[in-house]
Amino acid sequence: MASRSFTEMPTASSLLSAYASMSTSIMLFRTMFNQLFPRELQRYVVDAVRFYWKPKSSKKLTLVFDEKDGMVPNHMYDAAEAFLCTRINPDSERLRITKSVKENHINIKFAESEEIVDSFEGIPVTWKYVRQEAKSKPSGGGGDNYNYGGGNSSSSGGYSPERKYIELRFDKVHKEKIISSYLPIIIQKSKELENDKKVVKLHNLQSYSNGPGGSKESVNLDHPSTFDTLAMDPMMKKAIIDDLDLFLKRRDFYKRVGKAWKRGYLLYGPPGTGKSSLIAAIANYLKFDIYDLQLTNIGGDSSLKKLMLRTSNRSILVIEDIDCTIQLPGRKGITTSTLPDPHYKPARDPQFSLSGLLNFIDGLWSCCGDERIIIFTTNHKERLDPALLRPGRMDVHIHMSYLTPDGFNTLAANYLNIHDHHWRFREIKELIECKNVTPAEVAEELMKSDNVEVVLEGLVNFLKRKRIEEDENHAGNERTDVENGDIHEAKKAKIIS
């Protein structure tokens, strides 16, 4: 007989026999378990079996990010919402579109009931946006019962305001890693996103002369200056950028050494060398707001302190042309001779002191904000009080010099979109090295035509005329000195005779 190639199916009687045998064994084990083991040990064994046999993935934990924490905004909600904007699935069927009046871009956010699946170090997580509409019902107490915490209404009835929140769901076993590692990454990412789309503001600080306090007028800083467009020496630009980057990441260092987290810069040099453009480039690079402080508007030391309290963290305080703005009183009320004309009389005498300004820069009041940069500009560094220049007040002194050949390369690339010219560049650079010419003067010449050849020829002629004028002025000054010397010798001989 041929052998069978399949296994015979068990009969019903054999199945019933096996079931009866297994049931008998279970009943016997259960009887022995109940009789031989104490009740406390029985419960422990049962709980242990349930814990290890139940799949851990079935235990889910949900974190809730409410839009508000009581009456104040919840920063974690904002951070999660900003982070999730970068995780939106292209296949999403519903999205929210927002835009404020002051924003130049459209925000795309995920909508109500939409879910976003993400992962962190191999851990799957699910995000969901939830919005509960406001509800009202008759109150048992005869009046409305308001719940401002964003939660449910009380058991006695009343009004429940609209509630918005974001849910984060994941396996409960990963709770520690999600809270200690994933959430901090979300906060950091949201800060980077906020910094990328931040609109830099220019604030004008004003003090009321007739009363306390002051005001702050603000506009968007639309200045396009960047470090790429600055006509500066490349090595100097790199040094400034490196110093700014080091300053940003040294929060713990400043705290450890006991110093306020601030940095002082002094920009000095002749007019037209790009001091204001450098300030705008720093603000655009750091995404810091600028606060322009006009010293002539300060009513006194107390007004100066109040204005400082109006400035925010991560900001740049600018005091331009400090050498010629006012005659600054010294520590004892004596006016320092910082102005070129000793007969100069300001519109009104300043009511604050040099001591007040110094305390504003590096005294106790200087620690009323973090991550702050203070910039002074001057055309004449030698006229400033030495007390303003010492380290700790002005940490970095940057000389804004006349245009260099490297600076001209930057201007030519920016204004003319050219990087070389077979013979004009060499002639222009030789003229620039021979004479003092500012970036502003050259930039003005580069804007006079759209024809590159016409512009370069005009710039050469301008530099030649400037050289001739300077040579004539220099010769005239020498003749004047000689004549003055002859007159002095004649008077001296007359006195002797």
Per residue in 69-101, pLDDT tens?
A: 877 778 898 888 888 888 877 777 777 787 777
Do 185 and 312 fall within a single domain? no
Whether 312 and 419 map to the same domain: the answer is: no
Are 309 and 215 in a shared domain?
Answer: yes
Query: Tokens 């060499």 map to which residue?
Result: 426
- Residue 21 domain-assigned (yes or no): no
Task: Say whether both 342 and 268 belong to one domain.
Answer: yes
pLDDT tens-digit profile, the chain (497 residues): 444 544 566 677 777 777 777 878 778 777 777 777 777 776 777 667 666 665 554 588 999 999 888 777 788 988 888 888 888 777 777 777 877 776 667 777 777 767 888 889 889 999 988 887 777 665 554 444 444 444 444 444 566 677 888 999 999 999 999 999 999 999 988 888 877 777 788 888 776 544 444 555 678 888 889 999 998 888 999 999 999 999 999 988 988 988 888 898 999 999 889 999 999 999 999 989 999 887 776 767 777 777 777 777 888 989 888 876 555 544 444 444 444 444 444 444 455 566 667 766 666 656 666 788 989 999 888 888 787 787 777 889 999 989 988 899 999 999 988 888 777 888 888 888 877 888 999 999 999 998 999 999 999 999 888 888 776 766 666 555 555 555 555 555 555 54
Residue 14 lies in a domain: no
Residue 411: which of 273, 286, 287 has the closest Cα?
A: 273
- Residue 43 in any domain: the answer is no
Q: Are residues 182 and 78 in the same domain?
A: yes
Let me know whether 241 and 385 are in one domain.
yes
| Res 201: pLDDT | 85
Domain termination residue (choose one: 197, 217, 242) = 197
pLDDT value, residue 58 = 55
* Domain contains 366: yes
Based on the fold, state whether residues 392 and 418 are members of the same structural domain.
no
Domain check: are 213 and 334 in the same one? Answer: yes
Number of separate domains in the chain: 3
Final residue belonging to a domain, choices 399, 419, 437: 399
Single out the residue in 338, 366, 399 at which a domain terminates. 399
Residue 34 in any domain: the answer is no
Percent of the chain at pLDDT above 70? 71
Do the beta carbons of residue 36 and residue 133 sit within 8 Å?
A: no
Do 247 and 393 lie in one domain? The reply is yes
Q: Is residue 7 part of a domain?
A: no
Question: Is the residue at 187 inside a domain?
Answer: yes
> Do 112 and 133 sit in the same domain of this protein?
yes
Q: Is residue 245 part of a domain?
A: yes
CATH of the domain at 386: 3.40.50.300
Same domain, 233 and 174: no
- Can you give the residue range of the structural domain that contains 214? 201-399
* Whole-number pLDDT of residue 316: 92
User: Is the same domain home to 215 and 297?
Assistant: yes
